Structure 1
Amino acid sequence: MKWTIAAYLLYLLLQDHAPDQHNGGLTVTHEGKPVSSLSLNAHRLPVFPLLDMEKYNRWVNELDRKTYTEPVNARIGGNGQIVPGQNGHKLDRREFMKRYYDVLYGGGPASIEVPVYPVYPKVDTELLASLRAQQIGYYVTYYNAGNIDRSHNIALAAKAIDGTVVFPGETFSFNRVVGIRTTGKGYRQATVIVRGELSEGIGGGICQVSSTLFNAADRAGLSIVQRYSHSRHVPYVPPGRDATVSWGGPDFVFKNAYNQPVLIRAFAGGGRVGVSVHSSDVIEYMPRKVPSMSHRLPEEIREAPTLPIPANGKK
C-alpha cells in the first residue's frame, strides 16, 4: 500500500497538478446518498502533497463500516426449497484512494461515490444443492408434545441449527449457533415434572436438541470436541448419550474433519426431534455405531447439573 501511495503521488507531481483546485468541501456518497463530508484540508500535512495517513485511515475505516453490506447465505426454506443467497459489498480502498487524490490534487469533482467490490456468500445455491446428495448421519428422540412451553423451546432451538453448513476444518458450537436463550428471542419458562416436583427455567428443553444433534453427529463420524453430560440420566437418550448446554456454561462442539462440507438439518414437532447430517456424494465418511432411542415417550425430568465428559465421549 505504501508503494502504491508513493507511486501515485509521484505520478500526480509529474503531471504538474496544482493543489487547492477546490475551495469548498468534499462529499462522499454511497448509492447516491451522502455518508460523509469534510474539508479538503482535513487530512493534509503542511508539506505538500503529503497527508496525515493516521487521520485518513481512521476516516476510511469509518466509511468502510458505514457502507459495508454483509452477504446473505443461501438457505433451505420451510418447504425444503433452496432460497438463493445475496451478495454483499465492501469498500474498495485502493480505488477510493485514487479518487480521493484526484479530488485533492487532480482537479476532479469534489464528490466521490464510494467504489465497492462484491462480497459473495459463503453458502450459495449450488453448494446447498450438492450437500443434499447424501445423508451420513441421523437421530431421533421423543418428547411429550403436551408440554406446550417445553415443546416450543425445542422447536425454536431445532430451527436455529437447521440449515447450518460446517466446512472442512471448521467447528460447530451449539451455543454460538443458537445464541443466548431469552424471552426476547421467544424462549419460554418451561415447567417439567421431576418425580412429582415442578421445576422451571428459560429455554427448558433445548438440551434434548443438543443431545439429538450429538448422536447424529457421532453417527456421521464427525469429531466430538466438547461435550458435557448431565449428572444423572435423562430419559430421552440412552445412558451416557446426552449433551447438555447452557449459555455461558457447558457447550456442545464438534469438528468437521472431512474434506467436504456437511449440512445440518433439524426438525421438531409432534413429540419428535429429528436431526440429520448430509454431505456431497463424493464424501468418504466413517460412520459410528450409536444406539437408537426407544419410540416410547420418556418420563419428563429436569435437566440436572452437569459433569464434564472428555472429548472422546467416555466417562
Structure 2
Amino acid sequence: MNFTWMVGLLMLIQPLSTQDHLSITHDGKPIERIERDKVTVPLLPVPMVDHDRYNLLLKELDKKTYREPINARIDKSGQIVPEQAGVKLYHKDFAEKFYTYFFNGGTSTLEIPTLPVPPRVDKELLATIRIKQIGHYHTVFNPHNKNRSHNISLAAESLDSSVIFPGEVFSFNQTVGKRTAAKGYMRAPIIVKGEYSEGVGGGICQVSSTLFNAVDNAGVTITQRYSHSRSVSYVPPGRDATVSWYGPDFHFKNTYSDPLLIRAQVHGGVVSVAVYSTDAIEYKPRRVPWASIDQLPKEKKIESHVDTEPAD
C-alpha cells in the first residue's frame, strides 16, 4: 500500500493521461480493452485504481480465461484417454502487471498470465483403480424402442469412468447432468405420480437402478435412494433407484480407503455397470437379487405428453 501511495504522489509531478488504454490478450488474441479512466477513482488529486471496477474486470477476465480440466477416461475399446489440464487467470501476476501499466502511463498490451488447473483424475490413477472388480450388475431393455435406448446410452456414457474418492459422496444427478433435448435426450415413457406418461429423458432410471445394484453388490454405503411410485419390470421389486432433476436423486458414499471406478456400458439390449478399485482394496461385498435376463421387461404404450423430466 505504501508503494502505491508513493507512486501516486509521483504522478502529481507527471500527471497521467486518462485517455490511455490497456489491451489484454489471451493466446495472442485480444479479449479486453480497458480505458484508464474506466478504472480510475474520479475527482482525486492523485490517480488511484477504483477497486470495485478492478474486481469487476477480474470477474470478466476469469470467465474469458478459464478452461475446465478434462479427466482421464477409458474409451469404448478399453484404452485410457489421457487427461487435459485446464487454465485459469493468475491473479497475483496480473495485478502486478496491471498496476505497472496504470502508474507508468501510456498505452500498453498485456498477455494475460495463467496457471494450469490439474484434473482430478489422471491416467496413472485410472491405471491403478481399474484392476479389481468388486461389484457389478446388468439389466435388459428393448433395443427396438429407439428413444428409450438412446437415453439409456447417453446416461451410461455420462456415468462411465466416474471416480469416487475415499469419503466422497456420489450424486447421480450431478454426474449425469440435467436431461434435456439440447443434450440429445429424447421423449420416452416415464412414471409421473404413479401413472405412465412420456417425457424427455425416459429410460435413465434404468441406468440409476443398475448402478444402485452394482454399488450395493460392492458393499458401498447407500446414503440416498428412492423407489418409483409403482413397480418397474427391469429389476426385482424394491431394487430400483428413481431419479429426477427436480426431484429424487441417488447418492452413495465411498467409505473404503481406495478410490472407486464406475464403468457403465450398453451392448445391444443390456446395460452393465461394474465397480473397480485397486488390487489392495479391502471390501465387503453384498449379495443382491439379480434381474431376469430371459425376457424383455414389459413396456407401456403412452399417449399423453409432458415436458418435464420426472422419474421413469
* TM category, shorter: 0.7 to 0.9
Residues 84-116 of structure 1 show CA distances to partners (whole Å, capped at 9, x for unaligned) of 121111111111111112112246862211111
Q: How far apart in 2 are the matches of 1:166 and 1:50?
A: 48
Contact 2:140 2:297 in 1 (8 A): no
Query: Which residue number corresponds to residue 53 of structure 2?
Result: 55
CA separation of 1:135 and 1:7: change in aligned 2, threshold 3 A? farther
Contact 1:27 1:36 in 2 (8 A): yes
Counterpart amino acid of residue 214 in structure 2: A
Query: Which residue number corresponds to residue 310 of structure 2?
Result: none
Secondary structure at 1:111 match in 2: strand
Among residues 9, 13, 23, which one is paired with 2:4 in the alignment? 9
Report 1:164-313 matches (<5 A).
164-190=162-188, 200-301=198-299
Q: How far apart in 2 are the matches of 1:254 and 1:100?
A: 46
Q: How far apart in 2 are the matches of 1:14 and 1:285?
A: 68
Query: Which residue number corresponds to residue 20 of structure 2?
Result: 24
Query: Which residue number corresponds to residue 39 of structure 1?
Result: 35
Query: Which residue number corresponds to residue 313 of structure 1?
Result: none
Instruction: Tell me how far 1:233 sits from its aligned partner.
Output: 2.9
Q: How far apart in 1 are the matches of 2:123 and 2:80?
A: 7
Residues 70-90 of structure 1 show CA distances to partners (whole Å, capped at 9, x for unaligned) of 111111112111111211111
Secondary structure at 1:229 match in 2: coil
CA separation of 1:94 and 1:270: change in aligned 2, threshold 3 A? same
Deviates more, 1:32-41 or 1:183-192: 183-192
Among residues 71, 74, 79, which one is paired with 2:72 in the alignment? 74
Q: Percent sequence identity over matched residues? A: 52
Instruction: Tell me how far 1:156 sits from its aligned partner.
Output: 2.0
Q: How far apart in 2 are the matches of 1:107 and 1:184?
A: 48
Counterpart amino acid of residue 9 in structure 1: T
Contact 2:209 2:242 in 1 (8 A): yes
Among residues 141, 144, 151, which one is paired with 1:143 in the alignment? 141
Secondary structure at 2:138 match in 1: strand
- Give TM-score, length-normalised by structure 1: 0.83
Q: How far apart in 2 are the matches of 1:182 and 1:188?
A: 8
Contact 1:22 1:110 in 2 (8 A): no
Contact 2:8 2:48 in 1 (8 A): no
Instruction: Tell me how far 1:11 sits from its aligned partner.
Output: 7.4
Residues 125-148 of structure 1 show CA distances to partners (whole Å, capped at 9, x for unaligned) of 111111112111111112233333
CA separation of 1:7 and 1:68: change in aligned 2, threshold 3 A? farther
Counterpart amino acid of residue 16 in structure 2: D
Contact 1:171 1:253 in 2 (8 A): yes
Query: Which residue number corresponds to residue 304 of structure 2?
Result: none
Q: How far apart in 2 are the matches of 1:36 and 1:13?
A: 25
Among residues 129, 132, 151, which one is paired with 1:131 in the alignment? 129
CA separation of 1:295 and 1:187: change in aligned 2, threshold 3 A? same
Aligned residues: 294
Q: How far apart in 2 are the matches of 1:106 and 1:24?
A: 11
CA separation of 1:43 and 1:250: change in aligned 2, threshold 3 A? same
Deviates more, 1:289-298 or 1:41-50: 41-50
Instruction: Tell me, yes or no, if structure 1 residue 110 matches structure 2 residue 108.
Output: yes
Deviates more, 1:51-60 or 1:37-46: 37-46
Secondary structure at 2:279 match in 1: coil
Contact 1:21 1:105 in 2 (8 A): no
CA separation of 1:188 and 1:42: change in aligned 2, threshold 3 A? closer
Counterpart amino acid of residue 183 in structure 1: A
CA separation of 1:190 and 1:61: change in aligned 2, threshold 3 A? closer
Counterpart amino acid of residue 67 in structure 1: T
Secondary structure at 1:181 match in 2: coil
